[in-house]
Chains A and B, each alone.
Chain A
Amino acid sequence: MGPLIPLGQISSGWDFIIALIIGIAFGFILEASGFSSSRNITGVFYGYNFVVLRFFFTAVIVAMIGLEYFDYMGWIDLNMIYILPTYLSPMIVGAIIMGVGFIIGGFCPGTSYTAIAIGKLDAIVFTLGLFLGIFIFSEIFPYIEDFYYSGNMGNITISEVLGISNKLFTFIFVIIAVIAFYVTWLIEKKVRKTINPYKFE
């Protein structure tokens, strides 16, 4: 019955080794799919390369479907899973700032690690920028502490907010994702003048 470590099925001494292995798999999949290149990543915003959308949406829906089935089969106890707590206003503000940073920098932390691994200087600079950004945040934290903790909705799930069951939301999300795949395929056909996709290294 999962989750294995919190329920003691695997001793927590393995924690860090498992983290390392999972990280290696994550990094490998990211790099192999093309996310070590900032120009690949920002393609989704400009319509010449939809790798991010396809990758991201597919991963989310596969994970959601998987979790629901695992829960049904009794293989995992969904109450023991860490659900990201919702702090409404700071999260919205944070996401907006991150969106701008994403467009300007062209990376996100996970992808920047893989880009560093293949020798991209701009990724190294981006990661240093991350360091600096978090440092600035920590230093001014006492002034923004109240805002940081505002809008606390607890570990609320999407189904609690929308009032529909998790399963229904998963299904709707899958439909939205497939529609998005279809639409982006049409767009990409129009933008590509040749059969060579715009992919960068």
Chain B
Amino acid sequence: MDSITKEKHIPKYINPYFGGVLLGILILFTFYITGRGLGASGAIKSAVVTTVDKVAPTHTESHTFYSKFISRDNSPMSSWLVFESIGVLLGGLLSGALFGRIKKLRVEHSPKITKKTRLIAAAIGGILFGFGSQFGRGCTSGAALSGTASSSFGGLIVMLFLFGTGYAVAYFFRKLWI
């Protein structure tokens, strides 16, 4: 832990409470304008469906999962979440540029593990998260955040169990982070 305090550069972030207030107001207006909350994992699902459809159209037509999202006229990519996710990327770019955080391609990892370990962990984490997000009908942004804000019981459940499990297993993966 001591090596961390020796970092000479303190990153400029806005106060998390302030950020939270901003996000809360954003969620409020998202509901007000569109009647739905935010989301993120849905865009990846659209990407999966589109890709599989392009590569193997006969497979998707008969499949119970994919067939629900394929329509004759529109690509699954023309969905609200896809545009919103593109916006998230752009917004991150904007903020990163503003605060000087856009740098060359790098792997962020704890000094105690190697880059390779971190990348493998990211991949495994991604696969697990993607798989789980389908059961959970959303990720932290969609189900936990927007769901709880709109008083959905499912949203609350996902929030509690997601973070609860995080705390429960944090000890076993502590080497990755601290």
**CA distance in complex: A103, B31 (Å):** 30
**CA distance in complex: A108, B11 (Å):** 21
- Which of B38, B64, B156 is close to A22, meaning CB atoms less than 8 Å apart? B38
- What is the distance, in angstroms, from B177's C-beta to the closest C-beta of chain A? 5
With contact pairs A59-B20, A128-B123 given, residues A122 and B33 touching in the complex (Cβ less than 8 Å) = no
Residue of A nearest to B125 (CB): A105
With contact pairs A82-B36, A90-B135 given, residues A141 and B127 touching in the complex (Cβ less than 8 Å) = no
> Is A96 a contact of B132 with CB atoms below 8 Å?
yes
Chain B contact residues: over half helix, strand or loop, or mixed?
A: helix
Which residues, 95 to 114 on A, are CB-close (under 8 Å) to B?
95-110, 112-114
* Residue A182 CB within 8 A of the other chain: no
Number of A-B contacts defined by CB within 8 Å: 541
With contact pairs A58-B17, A104-B128, A108-B129 given, residues A117 and B90 touching in the complex (Cβ less than 8 Å) = yes
With contact pairs A30-B88, A159-B151 given, residues A138 and B132 touching in the complex (Cβ less than 8 Å) = no
What per-residue 1/0 map shows which CB atoms of B146-157 lie under 8 Å from chain A?
111111111111
- Which of A59, A70, A123 is close to B32, meaning CB atoms less than 8 Å apart? A70
> Is B109 a contact of A122 with CB atoms below 8 Å?
yes
**CA distance in complex: A64, B68 (Å):** 32
Q: Which of B41, B81, B96, B103 has its CB near the most chain A CB atoms (within 10 A)?
A: B96
> Is B139 a contact of A104 with CB atoms below 8 Å?
no
Q: Which residues of A contact B166 (CB under 8 A)?
A: 45, 99-100, 102-103
With contact pairs A26-B88, A115-B92 given, residues A141 and B151 touching in the complex (Cβ less than 8 Å) = no
> Is B165 a contact of A96 with CB atoms below 8 Å?
yes
- What is the distance, in angstroms, from A157's C-beta to the closest C-beta of chain B? 4
> Is B26 a contact of A20 with CB atoms below 8 Å?
no
* Residue A29 CB within 8 A of the other chain: yes
**CA distance in complex: A51, B5 (Å):** 17
Q: Which residues of B contact A108 (CB under 8 A)?
A: 40, 129, 139-141
- What is the distance, in angstroms, from A81's C-beta to the closest C-beta of chain B? 5
Ranked 5 nearest A-B pairs via Cβ: A105-B125, A129-B126, A23-B87, A133-B130, A27-B91
User: A: which residues have CB within 8 A of B?
Assistant: 2-6, 10, 15-34, 36-39, 42-43, 45-46, 48, 50-51, 54-64, 66-67, 70, 75-76, 80-88, 90-110, 112-123, 125-138, 141-142, 145, 148, 153, 155-161, 166, 169, 181, 193-194, 196-201
8 contacts between A and B (CB under 8 A): A30-B23, A30-B88, A87-B154, A98-B136, A107-B122, A120-B105, A125-B123, A131-B126
